Amino acid sequence: MADFIFYCSGTVKTGFGHLSRCLNVARATFALQPCSNIIFFGDFDQFSTQRIKNFGFTVADSGFIFEPHMTVLADSYQFTFEQLFELKKIGLKLCIIDDFDQYNYDFIDLIVNFRFNAEAFCRPTAKHRLGVRYFSFAQELLSLRQSRSQVHFKNSIESILVFIGGNDRFDVATHVVYALDKLFVNKEIILLDQKMPSISLKNNTYQALGFVDDMSAVYKQTDLIINGGGLTKYEAGFCLIPNCAISQTNAQHKDTLELASAHLTFDLGLAEDATVESLTLNIERFLHSDIKLQRATMLKSYFLDSTEQFAQEIIKVSNE
């Protein structure tokens, strides 16, 4: 029985994107190898711990020890060379998700970067797997994409989701909600935020949600997404949902610009610079110019088996 260790974290401070994509790959790995032992190692709050356990996976306790027969998928922006090298010295197989080409080390067995156009800004080696061909999505999104691809493009917008991410460090979500209230009338605006702030709107209805286990249930009722520049813009694109990204870091913004250049998202700039007025103008510009172009590009840019392809690469490494 193979042991696959997913080394990541999921807290309000770190955000939940790293955990989400590791969970997606873990589920695909287990589907391909049902006898596998799947363990999550890292810093997890109660919400994340329950998410992991809901899928039947194990959360490592404080006494957990890495062993040579294990295959590790590491996913964090905070690893040091020394931390990763110490893992490799144990003798295990070491795979890593590397969004920004910061872990291009000879001793790593597999490096996955599923960012759009990753081939253009990475220093690829034989160990790299690059681009959205390896995008990690939750399997529940597959049926949503398939159903949306079979219907005529819905030009009207009735429900708008605002999801900045696990850590809205610039408190930009409320600015977005107020901007949307200036642009729309009699629509439903949903804010996904663990703090669930109380907001009073003049022109639209408002609903606040805490974080949920199954994002597909939220995406299913959504016609437009304003996101925080991370994983959500990829999930929106996969689900054929028009979306705009307001990035929280410069690195996220570079990724957003790559996607925006291909009409896979619309760039709203950096969260630290955003005001209600600037957001109103930019979202209005998107609604008049880019929204139809997005659907056409989304249909041809994503792969229905990309998570499975990712899992297969990890399994290959474990069998070497």
Are both 119 and 161 inside the same structural domain?
no
Are both 288 and 314 inside the same structural domain?
no
pLDDT above 90: residue 13: no
- pLDDT tens, position by position, 257-282: 999 999 999 999 999 999 999 999 99
Are both 52 and 163 inside the same structural domain?
no
Are both 94 and 227 inside the same structural domain?
no
Residue among 214, 219, 213 at smallest CA distance from 147: 219
Are both 97 and 229 inside the same structural domain?
no
Tally Cβ neighbours within 10 Å of residue 101. Answer: 16
Q: How far apart are CA 270 and CA 242, in angstroms?
A: 19
266: its two tokens: 């619309």
Residue 178 domain boundaries: 140-301
pLDDT score of 24? 97
Are both 66 and 177 inside the same structural domain?
no
> What is the percent of the chain with per-residue pLDDT over 90, rounded to a whole number?
83
CATH classification at residue 313: 3.40.50.2000
- pLDDT tens, position by position, 202-236: 999 999 998 787 899 999 999 999 999 889 999 99
pLDDT score of 303? 96
Largest CA distance in the chain: 61
Are both 297 and 274 inside the same structural domain?
yes
More reliable by pLDDT, 165 or 114: 114
Domain count, the chain: 2
Are both 159 and 38 inside the same structural domain?
no
Q: How far apart are CA 135 and CA 142, in angstroms?
A: 13
Are both 145 and 130 inside the same structural domain?
no
pTM of the model: 0.93
State how far Cα 115 lies from the chain centre.
10
Residue among 245, 223, 248, 220 at smallest CA distance from 232: 245
